[in-house]
């Protein structure tokens, strides 16, 4: 259709011109023919026989002209038959009038047909353009939706901009697809800008538009902006629905504001009867009860859901099973997992991951492996989270052989592990001082196209430090910087601790200065390593000053630095200094805890 519109207009115009040309030539030929007949009728002997027209017709219009002449002759013959015998002879007085009447009728008919043809062509042109615009609009809107589903955000935004420049604004559903992709990509501010543009130029956003952006703000922990957007909905005349309520209730419960969540739900829904809570809201409240140890309230809410909600979904069962797993009631968790299957709700990947994580935390890796096998048999393929939980659990109990077996299984099935899974195994080798296997795993990681990150280098530095290769550990730090990875506080703490263990306090202080220059603030571990280094070298004055600095800064959240300096005083028989240090530590605990009853009793006993 687009091709027809593109090339049809010149063809139609050329056809009009050709038609007018041969119509004029035909009329001229008819005029000459009638003039010749008139000369014969009136007996004009002086007039020579009219010469045959010597005009040459165009090749394009020759056949059309012949058909038109034939049609005109037939028309003249029919009109002539309608005349009286005297008129047919053209000898009477009315003969010339009859001929001119025939010619006049022919010309009028031709002009009317030409006018009708032009009007039809114009209407066809307008209809074709309108159909083309509608077709292009629908096609572009469908293309934007498809690009959004494929995650091609840049192309979708470009096509939308092209449509807007031509005066065609996509509908609100197309804009909702773009807003959804922007929020999934973490471009929440860009999505907010797009909604403001919709409010200004159109189309007007609907409830789904605001719900998508509100959920995005809640995910990035910007609950204040989410509530501001919620209040802006009322100003734009959009009524919140249950989805809006559930998003905000979940965000408030995540921050521990349970009462505020219930109050807001009642205000929005204008219903103080909690029996009308839907399945999603009830599931959110039940999850809050489990996370805060209120098992009785959670079970009572579950029983109420059983009475009112006949169609419980997998998410509700997952929340219930996860609550029992966190409460270390695995028998109940297994029971409700079996109940799911009996009710025709097959467990999904989240269900199996919950059970595997709970078993691995308890050290029951054999049972966790069995659940992983059941997962395969039920047709639910393990994801990266499943393998990560399982490999971490195996490494935690020291079963590195089984962990490597799972890693090999992933690689053989074209499942490329994420860096976190590789880092778990490298960290295990580092802690076990198995430097060769740690670097072999790193090389294997590179061979499969997975780039090491900061945590990978920290695990390798730990392996070097454990093996006493401080120089190689420093080389790894420089390699990080060359590859664009900036060392974090863990990196510097490992190196500072290793330098202090070797008695190289000057190098440790240099690393501390470099750490501060790169914007990394020292933490309690950094100061603890320095205190230990000063005590090893016998610089107790520097250790005392640093420990006093720790006590005044409020960074002290454990007893390790004080214990190191206290043990050093005790070994050197400096009991007075040890007792004074202990008193200062108790005083710092007193002020940091706000004068708790336990600190008061301990100080009175001393």
* 498, 522, 546 - which closes a domain: 522
The pLDDT of residue 35 = 52
Do 400 and 508 have their domain in common?
A: no
Do 402 and 445 have their domain in common?
A: no
> Is-contact 318 354, C-beta < 8 A?
yes
The pLDDT of residue 603 = 45
How many domains, the chain?
3
407 band by pLDDT with thresholds 50, 70 and 90: very high
Nearest-angstrom CA–CA distance, 130 and 449: 52
> Is-contact 391 407, C-beta < 8 A?
yes
Do 362 and 442 have their domain in common?
A: no
Do 71 and 124 have their domain in common?
A: yes
In a domain, 455, yes or no: yes
Nearest-angstrom CA–CA distance, 602 and 322: 40
Give this prediction's pTM. Answer: 0.67
Q: Which residues contact 543 (CB under 8 A, 6 or more apart)?
A: 531, 534, 535, 565, 568
Q: What's the half-sphere exposure (Cβ side, CA atoms, 13 Å) at 301? A: 25
* 415, 434, 458 - which closes a domain: 415
Do 381 and 320 have their domain in common?
A: yes
Tens of pLDDT, residue by residue over 6-16, are 344 444 444 44
Chain-wide mean pLDDT for the chain? Answer: 77
Do 321 and 346 have their domain in common?
A: yes
In a domain, 267, yes or no: no
315 is written with which tokens?
């998410």
Q: What's the half-sphere exposure (Cβ side, CA atoms, 13 Å) at 73? A: 9
In a domain, 409, yes or no: yes
Tens of pLDDT, residue by residue over 135-178, are 577 888 888 888 888 888 888 889 888 888 888 888 889 899 99
Do 476 and 439 have their domain in common?
A: yes
In a domain, 9, yes or no: yes
Instruction: Give the range among 75-84, 233-242, 474-483, 522-531 with minimum mean pLDDT.
Output: 75-84
Whether residue 227 is predicted with pLDDT greater than 50 in this model: the reply is yes
The pLDDT of residue 70 = 59
**Of 471 and 41, the one with more pLDDT:** 471
Instruction: Give the range among 5-9, 280-284, 501-505, 535-539 with minimum mean pLDDT.
Output: 5-9
Nearest-angstrom CA–CA distance, 476 and 20: 88
In a domain, 554, yes or no: no
Nearest-angstrom CA–CA distance, 442 and 422: 8
Instruction: Give the range among 1-5, 181-185, 583-587 with minimum mean pLDDT.
Output: 1-5
Nearest-angstrom CA–CA distance, 107 and 96: 17
58 phi, psi to nearest 5 deg:
-70, 150
In a domain, 198, yes or no: no
**Of 365 and 48, the one with more pLDDT:** 365
Whether residue 529 is predicted with pLDDT greater than 50 in this model: the reply is yes
* 103, 137, 171 - which closes a domain: 137
Whether residue 90 is predicted with pLDDT greater than 70 in this model: the reply is no
Do 118 and 73 have their domain in common?
A: yes
The pLDDT of residue 6 = 39
Name which of 92, 137, 114, 107 is nearest 20 in CA terms: 114
Name which of 489, 493, 501 is nearest 454 in CA terms: 489
Do 516 and 479 have their domain in common?
A: yes
Whether residue 28 is predicted with pLDDT greater than 50 in this model: the reply is yes
* Domain of residue 443, CATH code: 1.25.40.10
438 band by pLDDT with thresholds 50, 70 and 90: very high
Do 360 and 453 have their domain in common?
A: no
Tens of pLDDT, residue by residue over 281-339, are 889 999 999 988 889 999 999 988 888 866 788 999 999 999 999 988 999 999 999 99
Do 426 and 397 have their domain in common?
A: no
Range of the domain at 46: 2-137
Question: What average pLDDT does the segment 400-412 reach?
Answer: 93
231 band by pLDDT with thresholds 50, 70 and 90: confident
In a domain, 77, yes or no: yes
In a domain, 432, yes or no: yes
Name which of 110, 121, 11 is nearest 60 in CA terms: 11
């Amino acid at each position: 259709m687009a091709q027809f519109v593109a090339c049809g207009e010149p063809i139609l115009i050329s056809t009009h011109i050709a038609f007018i040309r041969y119509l004029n030539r035909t009329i001229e030929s008819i005029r000459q023919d009638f003039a010749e007949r008139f000369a014969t009728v009136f007996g004009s002997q002086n007039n020579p026989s009219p010469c045959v027209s010597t005009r040459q017709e165009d090749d394009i219009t020759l056949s059309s002209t012949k058909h038109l002449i034939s049609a005109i002759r037939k028309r003249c013959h029919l009109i002539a038959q309608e005349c009286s015998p005297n008129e047919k002879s053209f000898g009477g007085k009315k003969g010339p009038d009859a001929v001119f009447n025939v010619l006049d009728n022919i010309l009028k008919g031709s002009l009317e047909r030409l006018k009708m043809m032009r009007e039809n062509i114009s209407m066809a042109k307008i209809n074709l353009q309108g159909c083309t615009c509608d077709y292009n609009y629908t096609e572009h809107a469908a293309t934007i939706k498809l690009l959004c589903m494929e995650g091609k955000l840049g192309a979708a935004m470009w096509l939308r901009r092209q449509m807007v420049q031509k005066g065609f604004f996509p509908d609100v559903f197309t804009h909702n697809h773009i807003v959804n992709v922007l929020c999934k990509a973490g471009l929440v501010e860009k999505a907010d800008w797009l909604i403001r543009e919709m409010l200004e130029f159109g189309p007007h956003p609907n409830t789904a538009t605001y719900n998508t952006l509100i959920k995005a703000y809640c995910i990035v922990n910007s609950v204040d902006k989410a509530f501001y957007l919620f209040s802006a909905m009322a100003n734009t005349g959009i009524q919140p629905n249950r989805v809006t309520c559930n998003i905000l209730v979940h965000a408030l419960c995540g921050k521990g504001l349970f009462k505020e969540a219930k109050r807001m739900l009642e205000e929005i829904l204008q219903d103080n009867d909690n029996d009308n809570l839907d399945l999603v809201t009830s599931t959110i409240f039940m999850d809050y009860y489990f996370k805060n140890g209120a098992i009785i309230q959670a079970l009572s809410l579950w029983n109420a859901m059983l009475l009112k909600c006949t169609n419980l979904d997998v998410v509700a069962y997952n929340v219930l099973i996860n609550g029992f797993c966190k409460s270390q009631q695995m028998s109940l968790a297994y029971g409700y997992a079996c109940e799911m299957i009996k009710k025709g709700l097959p467990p999904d990947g989240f269900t199996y991951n919950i059970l595997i994580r709970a078993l691995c935390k308890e050290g029951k890796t054999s049972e966790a492996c069995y659940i992983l096998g059941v997962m395969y048999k039920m047709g639910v393929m393990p994801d990266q989270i499943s393998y990560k939980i399982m490999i971490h659990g195996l490494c935690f109990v020291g079963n590195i052989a089984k962990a490597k077996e799972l890693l090999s299984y992933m690689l053989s099935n074209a499942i490329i592990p994420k860096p976190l899974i590789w880092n778990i195994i490298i960290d295990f080798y580092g802690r076990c001082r198995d430097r060769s296997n740690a670097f072999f795993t790193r090389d294997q990681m590179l061979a499969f196209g997975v780039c090491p990150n900061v945590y990978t280098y920290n695990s390798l530095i730990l392996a070097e430090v454990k093996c006493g290769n401080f120089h190689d550990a420093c080389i790894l730090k420089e390699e990080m910087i060359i590859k664009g990875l900036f060392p974090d506080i863990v990196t510097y703490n490992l190196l500072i601790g290793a330098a202090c263990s070797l008695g190289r306090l000057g190098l440790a202080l240099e690393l501390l200065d470099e750490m501060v220059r790169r914007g990394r603030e020292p933490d309690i571990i950094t100061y603890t390593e320095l205190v230990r280094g000063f005590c090893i070298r016998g610089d107790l004055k520097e250790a005392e000053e640093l420990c006093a600095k720790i006590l005044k800064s409020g960074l002290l959240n454990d007893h390790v630095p004080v214990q190191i300096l206290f043990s050093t005083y005790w070994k050197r028989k400096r009991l007075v200094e040890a007792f004074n240090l202990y008193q200062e530590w108790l005083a710092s605990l007193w002020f940091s805890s706000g004068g708790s009853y336990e600190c008061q009793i301990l100080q009175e006993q001393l």
